[in-house]
């Protein structure tokens, strides 16, 4: 089946040829048409192996009921035809069974897409009684194999719950269904002069509920903080079918335990998020983006310190990328000119946003000038218009896709003290070379690249491979986790645990913490029907 998950807008890169004269209504939009939509069709690539075959040590839990006719009849009794998808000769449900990286593949035969919270409640109540395992699914862009079944779990997609419920233009509080696509929520807010306090490369596909379930961090955490701060309330269907209505819109509320926090980052293991109430900040009027080249990782850190001090309140993103990540992206975007003709060891993308363009321009310009005079920044460009601004962002945002598209990618998303951040990439490359796994085909590994949110001490180590390969995985795991643990980092900064990191939580959390997490899981989900084989 065609899998067109992320739709990217690449501008200026390849401009369409315009006809000589266009009778434009308002402007020559048709003639300019610089936005090329790349829809990636991964269907030509070999189908991923079944997770159960790739990880034979993980066994289906026999306590879960195998779906029988009576169960399907029950689902049919509460859902309409359009809310149920069943596997058949023509339809293998690959869209729901395979994850974004095409690393994991489950074997679910049924996808439920209820259009109301009450229906979700009825389904969970039934599944809980019958001990039918369920995987909650949002936009299926998660990067740790958490959003797809491992065996025959029922996929419960919230994509049909996609209405904005309410927006208060005075407080900036947005209430919406969990299945609203992040970009749609942000576009809606833009109309009202507000912005979603989180942005990430998958915004065109991922859900508001999905990012909350993962406690995603993203590109603007530096400015707007984590979802633990901005989410004000949630509506959650618990595994027994009870609907927890906690859709508050209070910024301050110290009455009892803060229940919503438990569900933020719970990755679908203790309840299905159906509604989100979130505080959104006013949308900045002026954005600037500058793409810089520096000679060393040391200099990345120096520029970061300088940017924090000198750009202060207008600094909204500080991303770094190594040269290898840009080589992969250049390969993927064949023909699109990179901001620099030459290559440099590291690149930085700085975004400022504020309320007054002149003020921001002046501040940024002073900062950039002195960074160049100090010799910290060796080359740099600034976006002169919105098209260039978006294009510069693409060189950062398309790295995940570029790492994946030649066969596959092993992704590690870790928190490390800033000074050790990049040493993990060096160590991983050294290890893969030693094991003779890295190099030209037929070696499995293309490159191990590093990039990430310096501002948050968050590194993405992406090992781009020609195919998923047990030897590569063995070389990397638990090596990466041990490395991170030895530096007192976290083995999952923002992507979560999912299937991939279930067994590695011990590298970051101590036994007492792990026990408490397990107790909570059992409290909410005694039958363990929600998202089994994952998380803990």
Partner 1 sequence: MASKQLRILVPVKRVVDYQIRPRVNKAGNAIETNGVKFSINPFDDIAVEEAVRIKEKNKSLVENIHAVSIGPAKAQDILRNCLAKGADTSTLIDSKDVQLEPLAVAKVLKEIVDKQKTNLIIMGKQAIDDDCNNTGQMLAGLLNWPQATNAAKVEFVDSDTVKVTREIDGGEETISGTLPMVITTDLRLNTPRYVGLQNLMKAKKKPMEKLSLKDFSNVDVQPRLKVISMEEPKPRAPGVAVKSVDELIEKLKDVKAI
Ligand X SMILES: Cc1cc2nc3c(=O)[nH]c(=O)nc-3n(C[C@H](O)[C@H](O)[C@H](O)COP(=O)(O)OP(=O)(O)OC[C@H]3O[C@@H](n4cnc5c(N)ncnc54)[C@H](O)[C@@H]3O)c2cc1C
x/- map, 2-41, ligand X, by CB under 6 A:
----x-----------------------------------
Interface region with ligand X, contact rule CB under 6 A, candidates 19-27, 185-193, 197-205, 440-448: 197-205
* Identified binder of ligand X from the candidate list 134, 155, 273, 303, rule CB under 6 A: 273
Number of helices (H) and strands (E) in the chain: give both, helices first.
Answer: 19, 18
72 neighbors 109 (Cβ within 8 angstroms): no
Return the residue of 5, 6, 34, 189 that touches partner 1, per CB under 8 A.
34
Q: Does 168 bind partner 1 (CB under 8 A)?
A: no
Sheet of 134-137, strands arranged across: 84-86, 110-112, 154-157, 134-137
Cβ–Cβ < 8 Å for 231, 249: no
Residue 137 interacts with which of partner 1, ligand X, none, CB < 5 to 8 Å by class? ligand X
Contacts of 275 (CB under 8 A, 6+ apart): 117, 165, 175, 176, 177, 178, 234, 235, 247
Q: Which of 25, 46, 170, 441 binds partner 1 (CB under 8 A)?
A: 25
* 150 binds ligand X, rule: CB under 6 A: no
Q: In DSSP terms, which residues pair with 293 in a beta bridge?
A: 347, 379
Stretch that binds partner 1, among 17-25, 69-77, 197-205, 445-453 (CB under 8 A): 17-25
Closest CA to 306 of 368, 349, 359: 368
CB 179 within 8 A of CB 158: yes
Q: Quick one: which of 200, 445, 465, 480 contacts ligand X (CB under 6 A)?
A: 200
238 lies in the site for ligand X, by CB under 6 A: no
How does DSSP assign 192-243, residue by residue?
A: TTB--S---TTTTT-BHHHHHHHT---TTHHHH--HHHHEEEEEEE-TTS-E
**Closest distance of CB 23 from partner 1, Å:** 8
Residue nearest to ligand X (CB): 210
- 310, two tokens: 């000198």
Site string for ligand X, 323-362 (x = CB under 6 A): ----------------------------------------
How distant is the alpha carbon of residue 480 from its chain centre? 20
Q: Judged by CB under 8 A, does residue 184 bind partner 1?
A: no
Q: Does 508 bind ligand X (CB under 6 A)?
A: no
Residue 84 interacting with partner 1 (CB under 8 A): no
In this complex, which beta carbon is closest to partner 1, that of residue 39 or of residue 357? 357
In the set 209, 284, 354, 444, which binds ligand X (CB under 6 A)? Answer: 209
Which of 34, 106, 139, 380 binds ligand X (CB under 6 A)? It is 139
Under the binding rule (CB under 6 A), the answer on residue 494 touching ligand X is yes
Q: Which of 160, 290, 394, 403 binds partner 1 (CB under 8 A)?
A: 290
22 makes contact, choosing from partner 1, ligand X, none, with CB < 5 to 8 Å by partner type, with partner 1
Which of the ranges 103-111, 173-181, 383-391, 453-461 carries the binding residues for partner 1, by CB under 8 A?
383-391
Which H or E run includes 29?
A: helix 29-32
Minimum Å gap between C-beta 25 and partner 1 is 5
**Bond from prior residue into 509 cis (ω within 30 degrees of 0):** no
| Dihedral angle, C-alpha 330, 333, 339, 343, nearest 10 ° | 10
156 touches ligand X (CB under 6 A): no
194 vs 283: CA distance, rounded Å: 4
- Please identify, among the stretches 105-113, 131-139, 332-340, 344-352, the one whose residues bind ligand X according to the rule CB under 6 A: 131-139
Could you write out the DSSP letters of every residue in 308-342? HHHHGGGEEEEEEEEHHHHHHHHHHTTTPPPS-SS
Decide if residue 379 touches partner 1 (CB under 8 A): yes
For ligand X, the closer CB: 200 or 437 = 200
Tell me which stretch binds ligand X (CB under 6 A): 21-29, 39-47, 216-224, 424-432.
Answer: 216-224
If the CB atoms of residues 183 and 388 are measured against ligand X, the closer one turns out to be: 183
Longest CA–CA separation in the chain, Å: 74
- Can you tell me which of 339, 400, 444, 496 binds partner 1, judged by CB under 8 A? 339
19 counts as binding partner 1 under rule CB under 8 A: yes
Upper half-sphere CA count for residue 488 (Cβ side, 13 Å): 3
- DSSP secondary structure, 397-450, as one string: HTHHHHHHTTSEEEEEEEE--GGGTTHHHHHHHHHHHHTT-BSSTTSSEEEEEE
Residue placing its CB nearer to partner 1 in the complex, 212 or 311: 311
- Burial of residue 493 (CB within 10 Å: 0-12, 13-18, 19+) is buried
Instruction: Note whether 211 binds ligand X by CB under 6 A.
Output: yes
Q: How far is the CB of 190 from partner 1 (least distance, A)?
A: 10
Q: Does 90 help bind partner 1 (rule: CB under 8 A)?
A: no
> Between 138 and 407, whose beta carbon lies closer to ligand X?
138
Q: What pairs with residue 447 in β-bridges?
A: 464
The distance of closest approach from Cβ of residue 140 to ligand X in the complex, given in angstroms and rounded to an integer, is 4
Show the tokens assigned to 27: 């402007």
Alpha-carbon distance of 314 to 319, in angstroms, equals 15
User: Residue 214 and residue 344: Cα distance in Å, rounded?
Assistant: 34
CB of 30 to ligand X, least distance (A): 30
**With the C-alpha atoms ordered 495, 498, 503, 506, is the resulting torsion angle positive or negative?**
positive
Binding site for partner 1 (CB under 8 A): 11-13, 15-29, 31-32, 34, 285-286, 290-292, 337, 339, 357, 361, 365, 368-369, 372, 377, 379-388, 390, 392
């Amino acid at each position: 089946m065609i899998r067109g998950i992320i739709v990217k807008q690449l501008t200026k890169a390849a401009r369409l040829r315009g006809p000589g004269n266009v009778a434009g209504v308002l402007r020559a939009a048709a003639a300019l048409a610089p936005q090329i939509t790349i829809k990636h069709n991964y269907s030509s690539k070999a189908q991923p192996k079944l997770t159960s075959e790739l990880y034979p040590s993980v066994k289906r839990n026999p306590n879960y009921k195998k779906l029988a006719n009576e169960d399907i009849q029950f689902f049919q009794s509460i859902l309409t035809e359009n809310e149920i998808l069943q596997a058949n000769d023509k339809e293998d449900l690959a869209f729901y069974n395979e994850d974004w990286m095409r690393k994991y593949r489950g074997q679910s035969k049924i996808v439920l897409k209820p259009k109301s919270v009450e229906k979700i409640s009825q389904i969970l109540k039934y599944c809980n009684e019958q001990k039918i395992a369920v995987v909650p699914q949002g936009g299926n862009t998660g990067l740790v194999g958490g959003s797809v079944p491992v065996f025959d779990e029922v996929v419960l997609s919230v994509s049909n719950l996609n209405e904005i419920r309410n927006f208060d233009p005075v407080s900036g509080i947005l209430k919406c269904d969990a299945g609203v696509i992040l970009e749609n929520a942000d576009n809606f807010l833009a109309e009202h002069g507000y912005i979603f306090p989180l942005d990430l490369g998958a915004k065109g596909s991922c859900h508001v509920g999905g990012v909350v379930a993962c406690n995603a961090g993203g590109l603007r955490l530096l400015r707007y903080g984590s979802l633990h701060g901005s989410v004000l309330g949630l509506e959650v269907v618990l595994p027994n079918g009870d609907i927890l209505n906690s859709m508050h819109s209070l910024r301050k509320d110290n009455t009892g335990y803060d229940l919503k926090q438990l569900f933020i980052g719970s990755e679908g293991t203790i309840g299905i998020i159906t509604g989100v109430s979130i505080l959104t900040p006013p949308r900045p009027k002026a954005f600037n983006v500058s793409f810089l080249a520096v000679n060393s990782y040391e200099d990345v850190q120096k520029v970061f310190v300088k940017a924090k001090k000198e750009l202060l309140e207008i600094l909204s993103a500080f991303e770094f990328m190594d040269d290898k990540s840009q080589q992969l992206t250049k390969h993927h975007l064949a023909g699109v000119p990179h901001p620099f003709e030459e290559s440099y060891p590291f690149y930085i993308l700085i975004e400022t946003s504020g309320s007054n363009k002149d003020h921001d321009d002046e501040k940024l310009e002073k900062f950039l000038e002195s960074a160049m005079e100090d010799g910290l920044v060796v080359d740099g460009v600034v976006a002169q218009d919105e098209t260039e601004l978006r294009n510069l962002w693409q060189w950062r945002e398309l790295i995940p896709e570029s790492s994946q598209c030649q066969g596959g990618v092993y992704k590690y998303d870790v928190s490390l003290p800033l000074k050790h951040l990049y040493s993990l990439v060096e160590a991983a490359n050294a290890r893969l070379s030693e094991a003779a796994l890295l190099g030209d085909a037929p070696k499995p590994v293309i490159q191990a690249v590093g990039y990430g949110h310096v501002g948050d001490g968050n590194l993405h180590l992406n090992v781009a491979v020609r195919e998923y390969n047990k030897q590569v995985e063995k070389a990397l795991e638990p090596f990466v986790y041990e490395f991170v643990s030895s530096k007192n980092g976290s083995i999952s900064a923002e992507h979560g645990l999912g299937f991939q990191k279930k067994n590695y939580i011990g590298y970051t959390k101590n036994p007492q913490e792990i026990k408490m997490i397990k107790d909570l899981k059992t409290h909410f989900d005694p039958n363990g029907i929600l998202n089994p084989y994952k998380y803990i």
